[in-house]
Amino acid sequence: MCMPTIRTIILTINVPGLARLGLWAGLAVLGLNDSAARAQSIYTPAAAARHAQASQDVMDLSRAWRAVLQYDHTYQAAISEQAAAQTERAQGRAGLLPQIQAGYVRSNVSGSASQPNFAGQRVGRELDYKSTNGYIQLQQPLLNYSRYAEYQRGKARADQGSAVFDVRRQETGIRLATTYFNTLLAYETLALNRSLGESLEGQVAGFDARYQQNEGTRTDAQETRARLAVAKADIIEAEDRLVVATRELQALLGSPPKHLAALGSNFPLPPLNPGSLNEWLDRARANNAEIQSARQAVNVAEAEVDRAASRYLPTMDLVATYGKADSENLSTLSQRTNTFTIGIQVNIPIFTGGYNTANVSRTRSDRSRLQYELNAAIERSQAEVTRQYTNVQGGAQRVIALEAAVESGQLSLDSARKGFEVGAWSNLDVLKAQDKLYQAKYELVKARLEYLLARLQLSAAAGDLHSGPFDEINDLYLGPVIALSRNNNQ
């Protein structure tokens, strides 16, 4: 980031009653209202900002969302997970279709054989021949509820995979928004700390100049210098946080962002649509991704119960076999046979050692567990919607209050300066007023970002987080370009 250039102008007037006025006239030029300093720190000069906005290097929230869907490793893992789950449908359907298999056996047979002759004497002979046997078999289930239950389970698992993917997609959106806004907050914090540090440096220089001309005390300079030391420590901490936040954003985007779209000066607070909490709760019951995933898990458990219970039932299959053999055994030695058989194969389970009973009991208990988890997911969703709804509504009021606090803080600082000029306020009072102003500015930036995040989290809780909310926030609230690469290199 390019550090803003701020000139310190100190008016030296050899009239004791006007010495304080000269000091604070110089400080006023320092720009305690950080709008000008921040304008320079965003990107200097202005022409470069316009060029950066037009270039492909600027990463706004909409482009970041699409980049995350292309690169983020966690999201790509979710895509693979969904693709694997979709194969469950074909696996289940395969059990209902004909099963065809073939086999071939070729053997060298050697040994001896004996048989009685017409006189009743046993006559032996040596055996040494080749035997071959090949077949192809088709088996088609006719009455097999177990295969049908497996088919239903495969469909349920595929639907569950899609629901789980929706959960991962919503989580990816929230991770992106949180990381993006954390980066903006880290940048704004650094800009505020640098602005405050430069202001304090100018105040220290002013007090030193007054002291050298025997117009002030060293106490004022020492108080300001102590606060400056704290500000420098805050700058170092803010720089480290920005580096970490930028790296976390890079992990999602796949490349280090050079320029980011930051919050604009205009911050509208439109009402929610729909405006009623009950409507948001109804949306969540119907569309929340976590609830949908839990419902599909219950459906899978239902299919598992049916599959386990089907083992009590008989099965009936159509079996057709074609075989071809050469010297298959001694009775067909040196003979070639071609056979075709077709028939119905019926299997009736009688006793399995208690396995079926235990398996059915297990699947029913598992279904009960998943039903309770579904109820818990519904309650979590309702609580999350309520939390984020109140965060949005209360966040809007908090933004308004903090905007008023910044204005009041500026007026308080102006009053403190005037009080210092006439000797009614001390330098320490001015420093406290200045700290409160910058703290209010920080809280305002933080509250605005938390408000935007709450809107996205509310959409996610209602199962409606897609590109639309990201584009809406991007168009309404983001605009100015900040140069992260230049900031980090500084």
pLDDT in tens, 349-390: 998 888 889 999 999 999 999 999 999 999 999 999 999 999
Residues counted in the chain = 490
pLDDT value at 432 more than 90: no
**What mean pLDDT do residues 218-237 have?**
85
Residue reference for tokens 């300066």:
417
Note the pLDDT of residue 328.
60
pLDDT value at 267 more than 70: yes
Q: DSSP character for 45?
A: S
- Cβ within 8 Å of residue 284, ≥6 positions away: 291, 381, 382, 384, 385, 461, 462, 463
Note the pLDDT of residue 124.
67
**pLDDT confidence band for 133 (50 / 70 / 90):** confident
Nearest alpha-carbon partner for 422 in 30, 19, 32: 19
The beta-carbon contacts of 469-474 under 8 Å, at least 24 apart in sequence, are 470/61, 470/62, 470/65, 470/173, 470/177, 471/62, 473/61, 474/60, 474/61, 474/62, 474/261
**What mean pLDDT do residues 23-48 have?**
39
- Cβ within 8 Å of residue 245, ≥6 positions away: 179, 182, 183, 185, 186
pLDDT value at 487 more than 80: no
Residues of the chain with pLDDT > 70, as a percent, come to 80
> In 10 A of CB 303, how many CB atoms?
23
Note the pLDDT of residue 197.
87
Element spanning 59, H or E: strand 58-59
pLDDT digits (tens, 9 = 90+) for 50-92: 444 445 578 999 999 999 999 999 999 999 999 999 999 999 9
pLDDT value at 10 more than 60: no
**pLDDT confidence band for 426 (50 / 70 / 90):** confident
- Cβ within 8 Å of residue 439, ≥6 positions away: none
**pLDDT confidence band for 334 (50 / 70 / 90):** low
pLDDT value at 5 more than 80: no
pLDDT digits (tens, 9 = 90+) for 283-328: 999 999 999 999 999 999 999 999 999 889 998 999 999 988 876 6
Highest mean pLDDT among 85-94, 409-418, 428-437: 85-94
pLDDT value at 252 more than 90: yes
Whole-angstrom Cα distance, residue 320 to residue 144?
A: 17
For the chain, the first-to-last Cα distance in angstroms comes to 6
Note the pLDDT of residue 282.
94
pLDDT digits (tens, 9 = 90+) for 173-184: 999 999 999 999
